Structure 1
Amino acid sequence: MDRIYFVDNPWPNGHRIINFKWGTHFKYEEVEEWEGKAGLYFDLHLETADYYEEDLDEDEEEAEVDDWHAKIVWNNYHSCIFSSEEWAYKGFLVGSEETPFDLEVLDGKEYAIDFLSEEDQEDWEPELTAFDIYLLGHDATAFHTIKFTKVENQTYQINWKGKLALAYAGDYEFRYDFHTLISSTSFIGITIPDELTDLRAYELLERFVSRPALFELKNDNGNRQFVLK
């Protein structure tokens, strides 16, 4: 089972990932208001088991340490949700009008996301970053590198690392590191929101994807997605 590691936290062997999914959505001018670019955005969603699931039953005495190193603090928040879609559809740009998304060049592709300049770090806004995280409360994350490596067919390995800030506790410096290797996952499709007609969705597919013919529209009880044929 895949794991995520929060470097130097109380569990050096990391935490078991119980749910992971990889999808996409469109951002488009007509209904969106955000500081960004219209296009196709990747979404990643990750959930862990309880932080303490592999601990022994007996209580452990701890020296007085800061929140990051204190099991009792982590255990108060139980588990992690790390997502670009749990609280708002955010994600990171992979296809635009100028450079449409090309699935055929995804193998070996590495994306650098939210690499904030020193000036940006002094006045950054969490709602404008690609991912939200519930870690020790609703914290913040940036400086991501995410690499996709094809395993077979349309199954990929995802190597993901980045930095965290304990924003819930008022610390906005990205001083902590995480990393995870998702050994095998498949793209679940492009989510189509209810307000888009099928025709408009196809227009966006043509606009932001280099080979739209690779996709077909699937309607599952009103939940529509473009999926690979």
Structure 2
Amino acid sequence: MTDNDNGIRGRIYFPGSPWPNGHQIASFNWTALLHPQYGSYISDASRRSPALAMCFELTTEDYYAKDGTHLAAGEENEDDDDASSDDWRSRVVWNNYNKCWIGPSQTSSAPGIPVSDGTKPFDFTCDEYYFSANPLPVDWNNFFQEQAFGIYLLGHDAVADHKIHLHSRQPDGSYTLDWSGKIALYYAGETDFEYDFIARVEGVRFDAISLFYVNPTWAKEYFGLDLDPNVTPHQRIAPFVANPDDFRIEERNGVLHAVYRT
């Protein structure tokens, strides 16, 4: 694995694809969001209560990059399967879509993985964590409205059965992350989760909690909620994190974030 500018080292593998050695991860973010309507952990919850949700996001280098170097013109077709091969095994098809992104769903009303409903705060100092989301089988009637993560792979596909393990905590607070899941090539009309991804990333550190969803103006506009504008950001996160004093409030692109200590 190769270091990126932010110290992240990682690769992602898609078994059976044209690249058995996988792809370097160009960027990786571990963040969270505080959502006023996420609900509890129960699947039939009304989703009216707030919750803290973990968000993980990765982007790969270009598919056609080879150990950090782009292939020469025409070289990308040398090892491609014949025209009868399926999309998963075709290097030409993959290169049409450039790179992979997996991150908090942009179609879901509740993206990410809930970790606290305010009754038991989340502790950011543990030695390891296990998270999971969207186990199989999925209900296609509401899958895209409730999926934790979206994926752009060979188009806007579907990803489920996430298993995430953060471990090997270092003195600087960074972790090694192992993330696996199942993929359906939904963009091509498939609904079977017959493909896999496996990612390992080193040097992962928690960044910040987005408070976009608890902005009083936006909460009213998007959710019809009347939030007290006098409640401070620290007061908002206090029920959900075990160590609220370890966060500082910072504005990023017009959105308040509770940034974790470095």
TM range (shorter): 0.7 to 0.9
Confirm whether residue 109 of structure 1 aligns to residue 129 of structure 2: yes
Q: Cα RMSD over matched residues?
A: 2.5
Deviation at 1:203, TM superposition (A): 3.1
Q: 2:89 and 2:230 mapped to 1: Cα distance? A: 50
What displacement does 1:210 show?
2.5
Partner amino acid, structure 2, of 1:214: D
Q: TM-score, normalised by structure 2?
A: 0.76
- Counterpart of 1:146 in structure 2 is 164
Q: TM-score by structure 1 length?
A: 0.86
The structure where strand makes up a greater share of residues is 1
Note closer, same or farther for the CA distance 1:190–1:56 as it changes in structure 2 (3 Å cut): closer
- Give the drift of 1:114: 1.0
* Structure 1: gaps of 5 or more residues: none
For 1:130, which of 148, 154, 174 is the aligned residue?
148
Instruction: Report the count of equivalent residues.
Output: 223
Contact residue 233 and residue 249 of structure 2 kept, 8 A: no
- 1:50-199 maps to which residues of 2 (within 5 A)? 50-54=62-66, 56-57=71-72, 58=75, 59-60=77-78, 62-63=81-82, 64-84=84-104, 90-105=111-126, 107-116=127-136, 118=137, 120-121=138-139, 123-149=141-167, 150-193=169-212, 195-196=215-216, 197=229, 199=231
CA offset digits 1:149-197 (Å, max 9, x no partner): 1122321111111111111111111111101111112111111228245
User: Structure 1 219/78 Cα, relative in aligned 2: closer, same or farther at 3 Å?
Assistant: closer
Deviations 1:38-66 (A, max 9, x none): 31111111111110111743332522211
Q: 1:76 to 1:222 in 2, by over 3 A?
A: closer
Q: Cα–Cα, structure 1 residues 85 and 21, in superposed 2: closer, same or farther, change >3 Å? A: farther
CA distance in 2, matches of 1:49, 1:19: 9
Determine helix, strand or coil for the equivalent of 1:168: helix
Q: 1:102 to 1:198 in 2, by over 3 A?
A: farther
Query: 1:187–1:122: structure 2 CA closer, same or farther, 3 Å change rule?
Result: closer
* 1:20 aligned onto 2:52: no
1:41-95 Cα deviation digits (max 9, x unpaired):
1111111111011174333252221111111111111111111166667111122
Seq. identity, %: 33
Q: Is the 8 A contact 2:51 2:114 kept in 1?
A: yes
Moved more, 140-149 or 84-93: 84-93
